[in-house]
A and B are shown apart, each in its own frame.
Chain A
Amino acid sequence: MDMRRVEIMVGVFVVIGFAAMIALALKISSINRLTADSTYRVYAKFDNIGGLKVRSPIKVSGVVVGRVADISLDQQSLTAVVEMAISVDYRQFPLDTSAKINTAGLLGEQYIALSPGGEDDVIRDGDSLTETQSALVLEELIGKYLFADKKPE
Protein backbone atom coordinates (compact mmCIF):
# COMPACT_ATOMS: atom_id res chain seq x y z
CA MET A 1 0.00 0.00 0.00
CA ASP A 2 1.11 3.54 -0.64
CA MET A 3 3.05 4.54 2.48
CA ARG A 4 2.29 8.24 2.02
CA ARG A 5 -1.45 7.65 2.11
CA VAL A 6 -1.10 5.41 5.17
CA GLU A 7 0.90 8.06 6.99
CA ILE A 8 -1.61 10.79 6.15
CA MET A 9 -4.51 8.64 7.34
CA VAL A 10 -2.72 7.83 10.61
CA GLY A 11 -1.98 11.53 11.09
CA VAL A 12 -5.65 12.35 10.60
CA PHE A 13 -6.62 9.56 13.02
CA VAL A 14 -4.28 10.79 15.73
CA VAL A 15 -5.45 14.39 15.29
CA ILE A 16 -9.12 13.33 15.52
CA GLY A 17 -8.32 11.22 18.59
CA PHE A 18 -6.61 14.04 20.44
CA ALA A 19 -9.30 16.49 19.36
CA ALA A 20 -11.84 14.13 20.92
CA MET A 21 -9.81 14.05 24.14
CA ILE A 22 -9.70 17.84 24.23
CA ALA A 23 -13.42 17.99 23.52
CA LEU A 24 -13.99 15.62 26.43
CA ALA A 25 -11.96 17.90 28.68
CA LEU A 26 -13.44 21.22 27.58
CA LYS A 27 -16.96 20.58 26.38
CA ILE A 28 -18.12 17.57 28.36
CA SER A 29 -16.39 18.17 31.68
CA SER A 30 -15.60 21.66 32.88
CA ILE A 31 -11.86 21.83 33.29
CA ASN A 32 -12.02 25.52 34.20
CA ARG A 33 -13.19 24.48 37.66
CA LEU A 34 -12.26 26.93 40.37
CA THR A 35 -8.75 26.13 41.51
CA ALA A 36 -7.35 26.65 44.99
CA ASP A 37 -5.20 29.69 44.25
CA SER A 38 -7.98 31.79 42.74
CA THR A 39 -10.41 31.37 45.64
CA TYR A 40 -10.77 32.60 49.19
CA ARG A 41 -12.20 30.65 52.10
CA VAL A 42 -15.29 31.55 54.09
CA TYR A 43 -16.72 29.42 56.87
CA ALA A 44 -20.30 28.89 58.00
CA LYS A 45 -21.88 26.75 60.71
CA PHE A 46 -25.11 24.90 60.05
CA ASP A 47 -27.30 22.87 62.43
CA ASN A 48 -28.09 20.46 59.61
CA ILE A 49 -26.48 20.35 56.19
CA GLY A 50 -28.89 17.77 54.75
CA GLY A 51 -27.46 16.32 51.56
CA LEU A 52 -24.81 18.98 50.95
CA LYS A 53 -21.59 17.54 49.55
CA VAL A 54 -18.04 18.68 48.92
CA ARG A 55 -18.03 20.50 45.53
CA SER A 56 -21.71 21.47 45.82
CA PRO A 57 -22.20 24.89 44.23
CA ILE A 58 -22.45 28.19 46.12
CA LYS A 59 -24.84 30.58 44.45
CA VAL A 60 -25.74 34.22 44.76
CA SER A 61 -29.02 35.07 43.00
CA GLY A 62 -28.60 31.76 41.18
CA VAL A 63 -25.10 32.57 39.87
CA VAL A 64 -22.42 30.05 40.85
CA VAL A 65 -19.66 31.95 42.67
CA GLY A 66 -17.84 29.05 44.32
CA ARG A 67 -17.93 25.50 45.60
CA VAL A 68 -18.01 23.75 48.95
CA ALA A 69 -14.39 22.90 49.76
CA ASP A 70 -14.77 20.91 52.94
CA ILE A 71 -17.39 19.78 55.43
CA SER A 72 -16.47 18.92 59.02
CA LEU A 73 -18.02 18.73 62.47
CA ASP A 74 -17.08 21.35 65.04
CA GLN A 75 -16.00 19.42 68.14
CA GLN A 76 -17.25 22.01 70.65
CA SER A 77 -20.64 23.07 69.35
CA LEU A 78 -21.24 19.74 67.53
CA THR A 79 -22.57 21.52 64.47
CA ALA A 80 -21.47 21.18 60.88
CA VAL A 81 -18.81 23.58 59.62
CA VAL A 82 -18.81 24.17 55.88
CA GLU A 83 -15.71 25.59 54.24
CA MET A 84 -16.62 27.51 51.11
CA ALA A 85 -14.17 28.34 48.35
CA ILE A 86 -15.40 31.48 46.64
CA SER A 87 -13.81 32.82 43.48
CA VAL A 88 -11.68 35.96 43.96
CA ASP A 89 -13.74 37.54 41.17
CA TYR A 90 -16.51 37.95 43.73
CA ARG A 91 -15.05 39.91 46.68
CA GLN A 92 -17.82 42.36 47.42
CA PHE A 93 -20.00 40.44 49.89
CA PRO A 94 -20.98 42.43 53.01
CA LEU A 95 -20.07 41.03 56.41
CA ASP A 96 -23.72 40.31 57.30
CA THR A 97 -24.25 38.06 54.28
CA SER A 98 -26.42 35.09 55.22
CA ALA A 99 -26.04 31.52 53.99
CA LYS A 100 -28.89 29.11 53.40
CA ILE A 101 -28.93 25.54 52.14
CA ASN A 102 -31.40 25.20 49.29
CA THR A 103 -32.47 22.39 47.02
CA ALA A 104 -32.54 22.74 43.25
CA GLY A 105 -36.03 21.54 42.40
CA LEU A 106 -37.92 19.05 44.55
CA LEU A 107 -35.39 16.22 44.29
CA GLY A 108 -32.38 18.07 42.91
CA GLU A 109 -28.94 18.56 44.38
CA GLN A 110 -28.43 20.84 47.37
CA TYR A 111 -26.47 24.07 47.22
CA ILE A 112 -25.64 27.04 49.41
CA ALA A 113 -27.44 30.26 48.57
CA LEU A 114 -25.79 33.43 49.85
CA SER A 115 -27.93 36.53 50.34
CA PRO A 116 -25.84 39.70 50.70
CA GLY A 117 -26.74 42.02 53.58
CA GLY A 118 -26.29 45.77 53.85
CA GLU A 119 -23.07 46.36 55.78
CA ASP A 120 -20.15 48.29 54.35
CA ASP A 121 -17.39 45.91 55.49
CA VAL A 122 -16.79 43.00 53.13
CA ILE A 123 -15.95 39.39 54.05
CA ARG A 124 -12.32 38.38 53.78
CA ASP A 125 -10.42 35.13 53.55
CA GLY A 126 -11.02 33.06 56.70
CA ASP A 127 -14.09 34.94 57.92
CA SER A 128 -17.17 33.13 59.23
CA LEU A 129 -20.76 33.82 58.33
CA THR A 130 -22.97 34.10 61.39
CA GLU A 131 -26.42 34.07 59.88
CA THR A 132 -27.16 30.63 58.48
CA GLN A 133 -30.25 28.63 57.75
CA SER A 134 -30.15 24.83 57.73
CA ALA A 135 -31.22 22.49 55.00
CA LEU A 136 -34.86 21.67 54.64
CA VAL A 137 -35.13 17.96 55.39
CA LEU A 138 -38.08 16.57 53.50
CA GLU A 139 -38.74 13.75 55.97
CA GLU A 140 -39.00 16.18 58.90
CA LEU A 141 -41.38 18.35 56.95
CA ILE A 142 -43.59 15.41 56.00
CA GLY A 143 -43.44 14.16 59.59
CA LYS A 144 -44.66 17.54 60.85
CA TYR A 145 -47.70 17.43 58.60
CA LEU A 146 -48.47 13.77 59.18
CA PHE A 147 -48.43 14.00 62.95
CA ALA A 148 -49.63 17.59 63.23
CA ASP A 149 -52.95 16.68 64.92
CA LYS A 150 -51.41 14.24 67.44
CA LYS A 151 -49.05 16.75 69.12
CA PRO A 152 -47.49 14.74 71.98
CA GLU A 153 -46.40 17.82 73.93
Chain B
Amino acid sequence: MTAGFGLTTYLRQLGADTLDMVATSGRAGMLLGRALVGSYNVRRGFILLIKQLYVVGVLSLAIIIVSGLFIGMVLGLQGYTILVKYGADASLGPMVALSLVRELGPVVAALLFAGRAGSALTAEIGLMKATEQLSGMEMMAVDPLHRIIAPRLWAGLIALPLLTAIFNVVGVYGGYLVGVEWLGADSGGFWSAMQSAVDFHDDIINGVIKSMVFAFVVTWIAVFRGYDCVPTSEGIARATTQTVVHSSLAVLGLDFVLTALMFGEIG
Protein backbone atom coordinates (compact mmCIF):
# COMPACT_ATOMS: atom_id res chain seq x y z
CA MET B 1 0.00 0.00 0.00
CA THR B 2 3.02 2.30 -0.11
CA ALA B 3 2.31 3.31 -3.71
CA GLY B 4 -1.38 3.59 -2.91
CA PHE B 5 -0.76 6.33 -0.38
CA GLY B 6 0.72 8.67 -3.01
CA LEU B 7 -2.08 7.93 -5.43
CA THR B 8 -4.76 8.59 -2.81
CA THR B 9 -3.20 11.93 -1.96
CA TYR B 10 -3.22 12.99 -5.60
CA LEU B 11 -6.79 11.78 -6.08
CA ARG B 12 -7.88 13.65 -2.99
CA GLN B 13 -6.14 16.79 -4.18
CA LEU B 14 -7.83 16.44 -7.59
CA GLY B 15 -11.21 15.91 -5.94
CA ALA B 16 -10.75 18.91 -3.64
CA ASP B 17 -9.71 21.12 -6.57
CA THR B 18 -12.70 20.01 -8.64
CA LEU B 19 -15.12 20.64 -5.78
CA ASP B 20 -13.53 24.03 -5.19
CA MET B 21 -13.89 24.88 -8.88
CA VAL B 22 -17.55 23.85 -8.96
CA ALA B 23 -18.26 25.79 -5.76
CA THR B 24 -16.49 28.88 -7.14
CA SER B 25 -18.46 28.84 -10.39
CA GLY B 26 -21.63 28.33 -8.36
CA ARG B 27 -20.84 31.36 -6.20
CA ALA B 28 -20.00 33.38 -9.32
CA GLY B 29 -23.33 32.44 -10.88
CA MET B 30 -25.23 33.26 -7.70
CA LEU B 31 -23.49 36.64 -7.51
CA LEU B 32 -24.45 37.44 -11.09
CA GLY B 33 -28.04 36.30 -10.69
CA ARG B 34 -28.64 38.11 -7.42
CA ALA B 35 -26.93 41.29 -8.60
CA LEU B 36 -28.92 41.59 -11.82
CA VAL B 37 -32.31 40.28 -10.70
CA GLY B 38 -34.44 42.02 -8.13
CA SER B 39 -36.05 45.36 -7.47
CA TYR B 40 -34.11 48.50 -8.21
CA ASN B 41 -34.48 52.04 -7.09
CA VAL B 42 -34.16 53.42 -10.63
CA ARG B 43 -33.15 56.97 -9.77
CA ARG B 44 -30.61 55.95 -7.12
CA GLY B 45 -29.27 53.17 -9.34
CA PHE B 46 -28.80 55.59 -12.21
CA ILE B 47 -26.62 57.90 -10.11
CA LEU B 48 -24.50 54.96 -8.98
CA LEU B 49 -24.18 53.80 -12.59
CA ILE B 50 -23.02 57.26 -13.74
CA LYS B 51 -20.35 57.27 -11.04
CA GLN B 52 -19.11 53.84 -12.10
CA LEU B 53 -19.21 54.75 -15.80
CA TYR B 54 -16.90 57.60 -14.92
CA VAL B 55 -14.51 55.29 -13.06
CA VAL B 56 -14.34 52.43 -15.57
CA GLY B 57 -15.11 54.35 -18.76
CA VAL B 58 -13.88 57.93 -18.69
CA LEU B 59 -10.74 57.15 -16.71
CA SER B 60 -9.84 54.35 -19.18
CA LEU B 61 -10.16 56.68 -22.18
CA ALA B 62 -6.54 57.86 -22.12
CA ILE B 63 -4.94 54.41 -22.22
CA ILE B 64 -7.45 53.22 -24.85
CA ILE B 65 -6.82 56.18 -27.16
CA VAL B 66 -3.03 56.08 -26.82
CA SER B 67 -2.86 52.29 -27.32
CA GLY B 68 -5.27 52.42 -30.24
CA LEU B 69 -3.23 55.13 -31.93
CA PHE B 70 0.04 53.25 -31.56
CA ILE B 71 -1.40 49.90 -32.62
CA GLY B 72 -2.92 51.51 -35.70
CA MET B 73 0.40 53.23 -36.47
CA VAL B 74 2.32 49.95 -36.16
CA LEU B 75 -0.22 48.21 -38.41
CA GLY B 76 0.17 51.00 -40.96
CA LEU B 77 3.96 50.81 -40.85
CA GLN B 78 4.25 47.02 -40.98
CA GLY B 79 1.44 46.63 -43.48
CA TYR B 80 2.78 49.26 -45.84
CA THR B 81 6.38 48.03 -45.88
CA ILE B 82 5.25 44.46 -46.65
CA LEU B 83 2.38 45.24 -49.03
CA VAL B 84 4.35 47.76 -51.09
CA LYS B 85 6.83 44.99 -52.04
CA TYR B 86 4.01 43.25 -53.91
CA GLY B 87 2.53 46.46 -55.25
CA ALA B 88 -0.51 45.82 -53.09
CA ASP B 89 -0.36 48.99 -50.99
CA ALA B 90 -3.98 49.63 -51.99
CA SER B 91 -4.85 46.81 -49.60
CA LEU B 92 -3.44 48.75 -46.65
CA GLY B 93 -6.82 50.21 -45.68
CA PRO B 94 -8.65 46.87 -45.59
CA MET B 95 -5.76 45.25 -43.73
CA VAL B 96 -5.63 47.90 -41.01
CA ALA B 97 -9.42 48.16 -40.66
CA LEU B 98 -10.20 44.44 -40.73
CA SER B 99 -7.47 43.47 -38.27
CA LEU B 100 -8.63 46.21 -35.91
CA VAL B 101 -12.38 45.73 -36.20
CA ARG B 102 -12.37 41.94 -36.16
CA GLU B 103 -9.58 41.06 -33.75
CA LEU B 104 -7.23 43.62 -32.30
CA GLY B 105 -9.86 46.17 -31.27
CA PRO B 106 -12.06 43.92 -29.13
CA VAL B 107 -9.18 41.83 -27.75
CA VAL B 108 -6.64 44.54 -26.94
CA ALA B 109 -9.30 46.89 -25.56
CA ALA B 110 -10.59 44.05 -23.33
CA LEU B 111 -7.08 43.21 -22.11
CA LEU B 112 -6.37 46.87 -21.34
CA PHE B 113 -9.77 47.15 -19.69
CA ALA B 114 -9.01 44.12 -17.50
CA GLY B 115 -5.70 45.68 -16.45
CA ARG B 116 -6.92 49.23 -16.04
CA ALA B 117 -10.50 48.91 -14.76
CA GLY B 118 -10.93 45.24 -13.79
CA SER B 119 -8.04 45.18 -11.33
CA ALA B 120 -9.28 48.43 -9.76
CA LEU B 121 -12.79 46.98 -9.36
CA THR B 122 -11.42 43.88 -7.64
CA ALA B 123 -9.15 45.84 -5.32
CA GLU B 124 -11.94 48.29 -4.43
CA ILE B 125 -14.53 45.63 -3.65
CA GLY B 126 -11.92 43.49 -1.86
CA LEU B 127 -10.95 46.39 0.35
CA MET B 128 -14.62 47.09 1.10
CA LYS B 129 -14.92 43.49 2.19
CA ALA B 130 -11.71 43.63 4.27
CA THR B 131 -12.82 46.81 6.04
CA GLU B 132 -16.25 45.23 6.59
CA GLN B 133 -18.12 47.89 4.64
CA LEU B 134 -20.03 45.13 2.86
CA SER B 135 -21.18 43.51 6.10
CA GLY B 136 -21.97 46.99 7.41
CA MET B 137 -24.32 47.52 4.48
CA GLU B 138 -26.02 44.21 5.09
CA MET B 139 -26.47 45.28 8.70
CA MET B 140 -28.26 48.41 7.48
CA ALA B 141 -30.48 46.25 5.24
CA VAL B 142 -28.77 47.53 2.10
CA ASP B 143 -28.02 44.69 -0.30
CA PRO B 144 -24.35 45.16 -1.30
CA LEU B 145 -25.04 43.16 -4.46
CA HIS B 146 -27.46 45.86 -5.62
CA ARG B 147 -25.59 48.79 -4.14
CA ILE B 148 -22.02 47.82 -5.10
CA ILE B 149 -21.92 44.95 -7.60
CA ALA B 150 -24.81 45.72 -9.98
CA PRO B 151 -23.76 49.28 -10.99
CA ARG B 152 -20.20 48.07 -11.63
CA LEU B 153 -21.42 45.19 -13.80
CA TRP B 154 -23.64 47.44 -15.88
CA ALA B 155 -20.96 50.12 -16.15
CA GLY B 156 -18.47 47.57 -17.48
CA LEU B 157 -21.03 46.19 -19.93
CA ILE B 158 -21.74 49.68 -21.30
CA ALA B 159 -18.22 51.10 -21.18
CA LEU B 160 -16.14 48.42 -22.92
CA PRO B 161 -18.08 48.29 -26.24
CA LEU B 162 -17.86 52.08 -26.42
CA LEU B 163 -14.16 52.02 -25.57
CA THR B 164 -13.64 49.36 -28.26
CA ALA B 165 -15.37 51.52 -30.87
CA ILE B 166 -13.15 54.46 -29.91
CA PHE B 167 -10.09 52.19 -30.01
CA ASN B 168 -10.99 51.02 -33.54
CA VAL B 169 -11.57 54.50 -34.94
CA VAL B 170 -8.40 55.90 -33.38
CA GLY B 171 -6.47 52.86 -34.66
CA VAL B 172 -7.71 53.31 -38.22
CA TYR B 173 -6.68 56.96 -38.12
CA GLY B 174 -3.28 55.89 -36.71
CA GLY B 175 -2.85 53.55 -39.67
CA TYR B 176 -3.95 56.34 -42.01
CA LEU B 177 -1.46 58.75 -40.42
CA VAL B 178 1.52 56.46 -40.93
CA GLY B 179 0.51 54.67 -44.15
CA VAL B 180 -0.90 57.62 -46.07
CA GLU B 181 0.48 60.80 -44.56
CA TRP B 182 4.03 59.64 -43.81
CA LEU B 183 4.73 56.74 -46.17
CA GLY B 184 2.65 57.87 -49.12
CA ALA B 185 -0.03 55.25 -49.79
CA ASP B 186 -2.92 56.65 -51.81
CA SER B 187 -5.48 58.38 -49.61
CA GLY B 188 -8.53 57.70 -51.80
CA GLY B 189 -7.56 54.07 -52.26
CA PHE B 190 -7.07 53.68 -48.51
CA TRP B 191 -10.65 54.71 -47.71
CA SER B 192 -12.48 53.28 -50.70
CA ALA B 193 -10.78 49.87 -50.54
CA MET B 194 -11.50 49.85 -46.79
CA GLN B 195 -15.16 50.67 -47.31
CA SER B 196 -15.65 48.01 -49.95
CA ALA B 197 -13.82 45.35 -47.90
CA VAL B 198 -15.36 46.01 -44.47
CA ASP B 199 -18.92 44.78 -44.23
CA PHE B 200 -21.18 46.44 -41.70
CA HIS B 201 -22.90 43.28 -40.54
CA ASP B 202 -20.13 40.70 -40.87
CA ASP B 203 -17.31 42.79 -39.47
CA ILE B 204 -18.56 45.75 -37.44
CA ILE B 205 -21.52 44.09 -35.74
CA ASN B 206 -19.55 40.92 -35.03
CA GLY B 207 -16.79 43.06 -33.53
CA VAL B 208 -19.32 44.79 -31.29
CA ILE B 209 -20.78 41.42 -30.23
CA LYS B 210 -17.27 40.27 -29.37
CA SER B 211 -16.59 43.33 -27.25
CA MET B 212 -19.92 42.88 -25.44
CA VAL B 213 -19.05 39.27 -24.57
CA PHE B 214 -15.59 40.36 -23.38
CA ALA B 215 -17.09 43.23 -21.35
CA PHE B 216 -19.44 40.82 -19.62
CA VAL B 217 -16.74 38.25 -18.85
CA VAL B 218 -14.07 40.71 -17.70
CA THR B 219 -16.41 42.69 -15.44
CA TRP B 220 -18.00 39.57 -14.03
CA ILE B 221 -14.60 38.07 -13.15
CA ALA B 222 -13.44 41.38 -11.66
CA VAL B 223 -16.41 41.94 -9.34
CA PHE B 224 -16.61 38.26 -8.39
CA ARG B 225 -12.91 38.07 -7.49
CA GLY B 226 -13.29 41.17 -5.34
CA TYR B 227 -16.46 39.96 -3.66
CA ASP B 228 -15.11 36.45 -3.12
CA CYS B 229 -11.60 37.37 -1.96
CA VAL B 230 -10.00 36.44 1.35
CA PRO B 231 -10.41 39.72 3.28
CA THR B 232 -6.75 40.31 4.05
CA SER B 233 -4.14 42.42 2.30
CA GLU B 234 -2.61 39.25 0.88
CA GLY B 235 -6.02 38.00 -0.24
CA ILE B 236 -6.78 41.25 -2.06
CA ALA B 237 -3.40 41.13 -3.79
CA ARG B 238 -4.09 37.57 -4.95
CA ALA B 239 -7.61 38.42 -6.06
CA THR B 240 -6.35 41.37 -8.12
CA THR B 241 -3.72 39.19 -9.80
CA GLN B 242 -6.31 36.50 -10.46
CA THR B 243 -8.64 39.05 -12.04
CA VAL B 244 -6.05 40.13 -14.58
CA VAL B 245 -4.79 36.61 -15.31
CA HIS B 246 -8.19 34.95 -15.52
CA SER B 247 -9.87 37.66 -17.55
CA SER B 248 -6.94 37.84 -19.99
CA LEU B 249 -7.07 34.08 -20.49
CA ALA B 250 -10.85 34.14 -20.81
CA VAL B 251 -10.71 36.93 -23.40
CA LEU B 252 -8.08 35.19 -25.52
CA GLY B 253 -9.81 31.81 -25.30
CA LEU B 254 -13.28 33.20 -26.01
CA ASP B 255 -11.86 35.22 -28.89
CA PHE B 256 -10.84 32.03 -30.64
CA VAL B 257 -14.25 30.45 -30.06
CA LEU B 258 -16.12 33.56 -31.24
CA THR B 259 -13.87 33.96 -34.28
CA ALA B 260 -14.45 30.32 -35.21
CA LEU B 261 -18.21 30.81 -34.88
CA MET B 262 -18.39 34.16 -36.70
CA PHE B 263 -15.77 33.97 -39.41
CA GLY B 264 -15.20 30.21 -39.57
CA GLU B 265 -17.28 29.48 -42.66
CA ILE B 266 -16.07 32.42 -44.72
CA GLY B 267 -13.87 30.86 -47.39
Q: Which positions in A face B, CB cutoff 8 Å?
A: 3, 6-7, 9-10, 12-14, 16-18, 20-21, 23-25, 27-31, 33, 55, 57, 105, 107
Contacts and interface: CB of A to CB of B under 8 A. Distances in A.
Contacts of A31: 200
A27 B51 contact: no
| Chain B binding surface, main DSSP class | helix
Contacts of A24: 101, 165, 168-169, 204
A29 B195 CA distance: 5
Given A28-B101, A29-B199, A17 B194 contact: no
Interface string B155-193: 000110111011011001000000000000000000100
Contacts, number: 83
B47 to A, nearest CB: 8
Q: What 10 A-B pairs are tightest by C-beta distance, nearest first?
A: A17-B162, A20-B165, A30-B195, A29-B198, A29-B200, A20-B169, A20-B166, A21-B165, A6-B54, A13-B58
B162 A28 contact: no
Interface of B: 47, 50-51, 53-54, 57-58, 61, 86-88, 97, 101, 158-159, 161-163, 165-166, 168-169, 172, 191, 194-196, 198-200, 203-204, 208
B57 A13 contact: yes
Given A13-B57, A14-B162, A6 B101 contact: no
Contact of A28 (B53, B61, B161, B195): B195
Contacts of B199: 29, 33, 55
16 contacts: A3-B47, A3-B51, A6-B54, A9-B54, A14-B162, A17-B57, A17-B162, A17-B163, A17-B166, A23-B165, A23-B169, A24-B169, A25-B200, A28-B97, A28-B169, A28-B172
A3 B54 CA distance: 10
B50 A28 contact: no
Contacts of B161: 17
A52 B104 CA distance: 29
Nearest to A106: B87
A107 B165 contact: no
Contact of A13 (B51, B101, B162): B162
Nearest to A5: B54
A57 B57 CA distance: 40
A10 B166 contact: no
Contacts of A107: 86, 88
